[in-house]
Structure 1
Amino acid sequence: MPAPTVPQIPHYEPAPETTQTLDYADLPIIDLSKADTVEERAQLAVQVRDAMSNQGFFYIVGHGYSPEQMKRMFDIADIPFSQVSDEEKQKYVAPTKQTGSYQGYKLRQYWHIDGGVRDQVENYNINRDVNKRTHPEAVRPLLPEITQFARHSHQNVLNPVLRLMALGLELPEDTLVNLHGWDTRSETYVRFMKYYPRSAEDEEKTKNVWLKGHTDFGTISILYSQPVAALQILARDGTWKWIKHIENAIVVNAGDAMEFLSGGFYRATIHRVVQPPPDQRQYTRLGIFYFCTADDDVRLAPLATSPLLQRVGFRRWFEQDEDAPLMVEWRKARTSAYGQTTLAKSTEEDRVEEEVINGVVVKHYN
């Protein structure tokens, strides 16, 4: 039987890797191909536990998609931007501020960055159930491949990571998997994201920051590595470290919801996006993400039955578990507010601005 054909689409040529010397974060590399046995998972769980409780970021290799498959996915990721007219994009803009959902387009200049400067980033966001909404004409023939990619990201990347994190908390390994169903109601989705070069004036006004330091609102963020250096994480010593591109690797970090569920043990990592180094500034930066949230009805209270948390202690953001927000409540509040609200300068920390969401102080870092 002949192999199924896929739609022919233009090739997206990524930027060459930077030759600049940058101060890169030293992050562990987790090989998911070595997570088949109980013994292997126990060993990897220690590495993931240490990474998520310290740096909050790590790399994944051995995730099951080949370099050729990922090249195809980056070609697909560019289609919503390069092959859809501005007029058609307007028909699929997400009503984010009204609904707290990113599904659809986030067009350029929606987010306020700093000094009156707005973003130069386009997103196209697709729920893992691609039939939840309609899509631009150029995207429709690609939906089977996007569905396959979402399913792979969920079952072969997210679920193994969640199992390792549950083991790190000394909980049954499917504890967190059971909070992240494939067929359940949640906002877990694929994001295609394209950054465009900015003017020298905008760079000066924002001190070269493209997205301020922030935490993600969900549980786990999965970023398929690409060559344009721009992502930085805030290290414990207060310095910003660059994330290095590793071919066909994945970068994983925890978000607010995971920090709530783990009682603060797994850190929601502060990260930002800045202007790339000089030899990459003329290129666009195309990203592929799988942003994960717990099911909508999961209450974001600590998993207090964890033997590890009982030994080391944990934080409660709310006095009573029933006062903690549901995942859907936290997601809608964070999403609606991001880049739209007026932030207040922190009275306790330099370079920090704050807003209060669901009774929790959310910080943004300059």
Structure 2
Amino acid sequence: MDKPEPGDAFVVPTVDISAYVGAGSATARRDVARAIDDACATVGFIQIVGHGIPDTVIEGLTSAVDDFFGLRPDDKKRYRVPGANRGYTAPKTESLSLSAGVESASRMNDFFEAFNVGVEARSFAGLDLDEADYGINLWPDIDGYRARIEAYFQAAQRVARTLTRIFADALGEEPDFFERLTDHSIDVLRMNNYALPPGTDVTLDGDLTGMGEHTDFGIVTVLWADRVRGLQVLARDGSWHDVEPADGALLVNLGDLTARLTNDRWMSTLHRVKPPVVDGTIERRRSVAFFHDGNADAVISTLASHLEYDNGLAYEPITVTDHIAAKLAGSRGGKLNSAAVREATRVLQAAEK
């Protein structure tokens, strides 16, 4: 079902992480870690407050998003970067469901448009990293755009690293456990616009897909989004539920690599976007996802403490770069990701309900 039944108890938990942002007591931090563990083990999506990002930084972000997506289509297309996880993505040139191992009825049919920036290999002096694993940014020629985006990027990166510090406590690992996996992390900021630009070949009378069902690729995602319906999350019982961010909150969800670490005790939750049609027009929705994906050369293996989960069938070890390459080959390259067996099974089971 697409919407919860009356009386449905599905809730995305809200957690105040301010004890980790400031100088919180050991007791306060323990309570936060316990709440995060419970949210990750039951839903996989979390509303976080107390994140410490100033309103002015959010306002700078949203104005920059509007400035770019307000450009003429031909001007936006100048910022396409073929074959890289950077730059502009036009509507109907991706199919996120393929990254989750699900063959969609119509390939490359997601109608969102996006713009990506991120860290570059040269950002980490002395490590001799491959730019092919990271990417080179292409900045729009818009006054003040880069400064506004970089201000938010740095703030979201801080939040992501705060979350992984909480994750370490919640999992009973050493405080620097995630630092060892993320000290030269592939971090990407993806700005999404769900609207229909003039001349777009999308009809309103079909099954509209803003963004197909998928899991996120890395360790953790920090999402700012408009308070507009569209985002839907797949619960563990196979039902889809609408999710909107609370006022002032950021949405957080786990990625595949954290699911691998915990053998799906903390699940990489499937989600999709289906913006509503109001008076014959798709209601515009914006979102900005910060993907904290881990070091390209890091090897992700199931934690010894979690081998007992999922009937003892642990994931095979994989490098971050190999995992992300397989996922991007699906979403952006149109190649079905045959390795995403667990994700595809959950999508197909949900479709049968």
- TM-score when scaled to structure 2? 0.79
What are the ranges of 5 or more consecutive residues in structure 2 without an aligned counterpart? 1-5, 96-103, 124-135
User: Does the CA-based 8 Å contact 2:270-2:343 persist in structure 1?
Assistant: no
Equivalence map 1:1-366=2 (5 Å): 25-35=10-20, 36-83=24-71, 85-96=72-83, 101-112=84-95, 114-115=105-106, 118-128=109-119, 132-138=136-142, 141-155=144-158, 157-181=159-183, 184=184, 186-197=185-196, 202-205=203-206, 207-276=207-276, 278=278, 281-304=281-304, 306=305, 309=306, 315-318=313-316, 324-338=317-331, 340-341=333-334, 355-357=337-339, 362-363=343-344, 364=347
Give how far 1:160 is off: 1.6
Change (3 A) 1:281 1:70: farther
Give how far 1:283 is off: 3.0
Compare 295-304 and 334-343 and name the one that shifted more.
334-343
Counterparts of 1:279 and 1:39 in 2: how far apart (Å)? 51
Q: Secondary structure at the match of 1:118?
A: coil
Counterparts of 1:22 and 1:273 in 2: how far apart (Å)? 23
Give how far 1:312 is off: 5.9
User: Does the CA-based 8 Å contact 2:107-2:334 persist in structure 1?
Assistant: no
- The code of the aligned residue for 1:316 comes to A
User: Does the CA-based 8 Å contact 2:307-2:314 persist in structure 1?
Assistant: no
Change (3 A) 1:302 1:280: farther
- The code of the aligned residue for 2:105 comes to D
Change (3 A) 1:134 1:69: closer
Give how far 1:265 is off: 2.0
Give how far 1:202 is off: 3.5
What are the ranges of 5 or more consecutive residues in structure 1 without an aligned counterpart? 1-20, 319-323, 344-354
Counterparts of 1:194 and 1:23 in 2: how far apart (Å)? 30
User: Does the CA-based 8 Å contact 1:219-1:258 persist in structure 2?
Assistant: yes
Superposition RMSD in Å? 3.0
State the partner residue of 1:5: none
- The code of the aligned residue for 2:327 comes to R
User: Does the CA-based 8 Å contact 1:128-1:150 persist in structure 2?
Assistant: no
Give how far 1:135 is off: 1.5
List per-residue Cα deviations over 1:174-208 (Å, max 9, x = no partner). Answer: 21133122xx2x43111111011499974444x34
Counterparts of 2:252 and 2:277 in 1: how far apart (Å)? 23
Give how far 1:72 is off: 2.5
Compare 118-127 and 208-217 and name the one that shifted more.
208-217
- TM-score when scaled to structure 1? 0.77
- The code of the aligned residue for 1:29 comes to T
Counterparts of 1:22 and 1:136 in 2: how far apart (Å)? 47
User: Does the CA-based 8 Å contact 1:213-1:271 persist in structure 2?
Assistant: yes
- The code of the aligned residue for 1:118 comes to N
- The code of the aligned residue for 2:188 comes to Y
- The code of the aligned residue for 1:127 comes to G
- The code of the aligned residue for 2:152 comes to F
- The code of the aligned residue for 1:120 comes to F
User: Does the CA-based 8 Å contact 1:234-1:240 persist in structure 2?
Assistant: yes
Counterparts of 1:49 and 1:361 in 2: how far apart (Å)? 21
